[in-house]
Structure 1
């Protein structure tokens, strides 16, 4: 069953994957309105299943405490990053998920290399870390707005014409280093159309409860649409690697984008295949002794072991209790 589920997910997300080494033209290669023939009603059930699957694997990831997962979300304004995080991670244990959003760098952050502040927020083993915007801002916003680069206090020799190729290489090397140390890097670009962004901006203006989400800066950034599309295309071409490929998720339909994001993350966790730790003979004996002591403390009229009473031993003799025949 698990193998079938993994194959279905892999097939579903294959069209979203940026083949390493390929040359990407974002507008020509990826349709923001693609929905794989699904209807929204079907999508609701699929997302529910995906969230349940993520909860199962995140629990195993935390229990094994060997791997960590870093999910990088990139998108233009109104691309749906916040909603994707809220819906896709709705069923997981919040203690094992940490979200970091990166704003304008502080004076301390500007005193370090361009990856330093992102390294401070990496997940621990057993955890899922989410970057709501990520280190890729350093080859997107910084590229579109050269004045931001001027504030980074780089020496003159580091600001030459090859700076973006140098940063792509540094990012690829960093992500490979993380992967080799047990931290899987998952990268999702939420691909929004210009018209859908316009519609979402107007909704933020029209609805008073959404006014706080809108900023005049959003309109100024929208005026650089073509520059961003070029920067996205080059970024995807240069940094989709075998160890950390990009997935371009169609974002015009929020419900479909959330399904895709859940599927990509689930695919990653299934590939890691984290397992619950097993206990040795000595530890199993300690568990049995502890259970006997607790059973003797049962008040009058109560079952010695309420869980065992509610979950009788199966026909195969496996009861699934710690220290039992299912251990």
Structure 2
């Protein structure tokens, strides 16, 4: 990856980043229909490039086995979280990605601290974990519906008016702990307009195959639109940090939102710059011995090393030349 290309990606996602310490007001600071001057036909190729880069870097991340990546996706209903995951991660190895969705907490989860259930689903080293909704539900839904605090069995003296500021601080410290231990935290808020949400809700009602995605509860939550906008603005202001910044991705145009999400994740992996492990001199000698044995097994008329025969640079990388093809009828020496 050239430095120039890395800089272009950084410039592209720059307007989406919430500056740490800034005071955010969503309706003023971020346009859900922003598209950076791109056209949809150009976006298709850009997304394809982003998916390809993700596949390359994910393989290196898994091979290095040093860093892990946590991707947190937050949005209102119909914001496009599922589609973003499906399209952006379409080219990666599913063995290296784990997706977790968090619904209403269970009785067991309520018997623990509010971050406990999220900690159970963190990535391992070499893995990308995606939270479809995340620990930020604890300062969003729980804030808009404070009756949920009662279900969390908190001591009376901890449910005061400062609880949200305290939780922001606790979440920031938790994310700093994760990053200090090699786990990058990527946070994306899919910013949907109220009118686009209405349109998507109607589509889910009008199309029978989409009915399962709609619930009357979605309309009830929509009535709390202003409360959620305030909660999101407060959350973005308080928890966008140098070690784990928020990115507000315009979500009214699904194709553009997916390009942004891919670019943000690629940027994170490029910053890590994972490398394939160097096997060391002794292990390389063993590889060459194994290579020689395998070459000796080549059938008559076949190249000793078919891959190196097609890719001479691969043979040079091992410090050996590819052996020439055998003439038909010439078998393996019995010496």
Same-fold call, TM > 0.5? yes
**Equivalent in the alignment of 2:272:** 272
Question: How far, CA to CA, are the matches of 1:16 and 1:129 in structure 2?
Answer: 22
**Equivalent in the alignment of 1:182:** 182
**Equivalent in the alignment of 2:101:** 101
Q: How does 1:163-242 map to 2 (within 5 A)?
A: 163-242=163-242
TM-score, with structure 1 as normaliser: 0.96
Displacement, 1:320?
Answer: 5.7
Conserved 8 A contact 1:287-1:323: no
Displacement, 1:312?
Answer: 2.2
Question: How far, CA to CA, are the matches of 1:290 and 1:155 in structure 2?
Answer: 64
TM-score, with structure 2 as normaliser: 0.94
State how many pairs are aligned.
Answer: 321
Structure 1 range deviating more: 261-270 or 293-302: 293-302
Write out per-residue CA displacement over residues 66-112 of structure 1, whole angstroms, 9 at most, x where no aligned residue: 00000000000000000000000011111000000001101110000
Question: How far, CA to CA, are the matches of 1:30 and 1:281 in structure 2?
Answer: 53
Work out whether 1:80 is the aligned partner of 2:76: no
Write out per-residue CA displacement over residues 108-138 of structure 1, whole angstroms, 9 at most, x where no aligned residue: 1000000000000000000000000000000
Displacement, 1:158?
Answer: 1.2
Work out whether 1:258 is the aligned partner of 2:258: yes
Question: How far, CA to CA, are the matches of 1:238 and 1:319 in structure 2?
Answer: 54
Pair 48,228 (structure 1): closer, same or farther in 2 beyond 3 Å: same
Instruction: Please state whether the residue corresponding to 1:232 is helix, strand or coil.
Output: helix
Write out per-residue CA displacement over residues 177-218 of structure 1, whole angstroms, 9 at most, x where no aligned residue: 000000000000000000000000000000011011000110
Write out per-residue CA displacement over residues 235-273 of structure 1, whole angstroms, 9 at most, x where no aligned residue: 000000000000000000000000000011011000001
Question: How far, CA to CA, are the matches of 2:283 and 2:270 in structure 1?
Answer: 29
- Runs of 4 or more, structure 1, over 4 Å off, are 320-325
Displacement, 1:2?
Answer: 1.7
Write out per-residue CA displacement over residues 135-158 of structure 1, whole angstroms, 9 at most, x where no aligned residue: 000000000001111100001111
Instruction: Please state whether the residue corresponding to 1:66 is helix, strand or coil.
Output: coil
Instruction: Please state whether the residue corresponding to 2:70 is helix, strand or coil.
Output: strand
Structure 1 range deviating more: 60-69 or 296-305: 296-305
Question: How far, CA to CA, are the matches of 1:131 and 1:222 in structure 2?
Answer: 22
Displacement, 1:324?
Answer: 4.7
Question: How far, CA to CA, are the matches of 1:138 and 1:279 in structure 2?
Answer: 44
**Equivalent in the alignment of 2:330:** none
**Equivalent in the alignment of 2:36:** 36
Larger radius of gyration: 2
Question: How far, CA to CA, are the matches of 2:229 and 2:306 in structure 1?
Answer: 60
Question: How far, CA to CA, are the matches of 2:58 and 2:2 in structure 1?
Answer: 15
Task: Let me know the Cα RMSD of the aligned residues.
Answer: 1.1
Structure 1 range deviating more: 276-285 or 73-82: 276-285
Write out per-residue CA displacement over residues 18-42 of structure 1, whole angstroms, 9 at most, x where no aligned residue: 0000000011100000000000001
Question: How far, CA to CA, are the matches of 2:18 and 2:172 in structure 1?
Answer: 15
